[in-house]
Every structure is written in structure tokens, then in C-alpha cells.
Amino acid sequence: MNKKRMLLIFLPLLAVVLVSAAVVNYLSNTATATVNVGSPMTIAFSEIDGDVDVNGAFTEVVWTYYKLDLSTTGLSTSVIGVYVKNNADIQIENKWLRVNVSNSINDVSCEDITSLMFWDTATPIQIAKGYQELSRVGLCSDEGDNVLYDIPINSLSPDTEYEYPVKITFGLVAPATYTFVAEMINTQ
């Protein structure tokens, strides 16, 4: 008789526990959201085959996103285009464009590039200045096998595209293929 009595007590208790577990589970359901966050800035490079006009504009380029492999000779000057787009819905200010320069023989120093000239085409005032020298103003840091150019970004308007011509002159360097990889960073 004890077994029957125990069973009569245990079954209702089990039913109460199961119902309570179901109610607690139902009341404590959670929601999950997945958010894909993209880069706030798109960066691309291109070799410029044609001329750059008096406003710093150029045409007929094929953009390579984030990375450009460049083959040239020592003591030669190459003209490349840099494309920057602010993908954010706010102004990007006081950031840095970091350009990592390496080569196929793992031997790059700040002296490999004897002139790095950038033409800011964002405003008429900047356009009037023409090319500005960047290689001798302390923006290059030697990392051993590669160098980093940290170029200040003063301001990029929301959802705006910019195209800049850049002249690169190499010193008397060993034959190699140089690779330029760019990214936006918060601080230098």
C-alpha cells in the first residue's frame, strides 16, 4: 500500500514540476539578432596609364580593392590612383590611412621610395596645391621587412567617393615586385 500511496503523491508532484518547467521555459524565451558590420571605408588602387589633368582627375582605371602589385624599375616614377569611399553615414575624421609596403624579396626600407607625392582632390583649395610630398615628412616607419606609411585623414564626408592621384618614385632598388596594402586605423 505504501507504494501506491507514494505513487499517488509522486505523480501529481511530477506533473506540477513538468508544467512549471514548461511555463518557466516559455516565459524566459530569448531573441537573437545577427548584425553584419562592414568596413566604414572602401579603399582601392589602380595604375594610371593616361594623364592626370589640371584638377587631379584621371580616367579609364581598373580599381583593385585594398591591394596593388606594382612592377617598375628602380629610379622610375609610377602614377597610381587611390580610391577612397566613406561607407558610413557620419563624417570620418582624425583617422589614419595605413599603407603597408612590402616586396617580393622581403627587403624594404623607407629609402626605397625616394618620392611619394599625393594630390588631395577633395576641395578646390587642395586641388590648387597640386602634388604634395609625403615621403620626407615623417610618415614612414621601417618595420624590418616592410614599411608603414601612416597618412592622416582629416575628414571624409558621409557616403562620398574620392579619387586621388599619387606619384611614386623608387630609388636605386633591387629588382622586386612591390605590394601596397591599405587599411584605415584609429590611431597612429
Is 1 part of any domain? no
Is 30 part of any domain? no
Is 2 part of any domain? no
- Read off the CATH number of the domain in which 127 is found: 2.60.120
pLDDT at 176: 87
Q: Which of 126, 102, 112 is nearest to 182 (CA)?
A: 102
Reported as a single tens digit per residue, the pLDDT across 85-119 is: 999 999 999 999 999 999 999 999 999 999 999 99
Is 31 part of any domain? no
Q: Total domain count for the chain?
A: 1
Is 7 part of any domain? no
pTM to 2 decimal places: 0.76
Rounded-to-integer distance, Cα 184 and Cα 11, Å: 65
Structural domain including 56 reads 41-185
Is 166 part of any domain? yes
Q: Could you tell me the sign of the dihedral formed by the alpha carbons of 131, 62, 103, 97, in that order?
A: positive
Rounded-to-integer distance, Cα 55 and Cα 44, Å: 20
Is 34 part of any domain? no
Reported as a single tens digit per residue, the pLDDT across 46-64 is: 999 889 999 999 987 899 9
Q: How far is CA 144 from CA 102, 112, 141, in A?
A: 10, 13, 9
Is 9 part of any domain? no
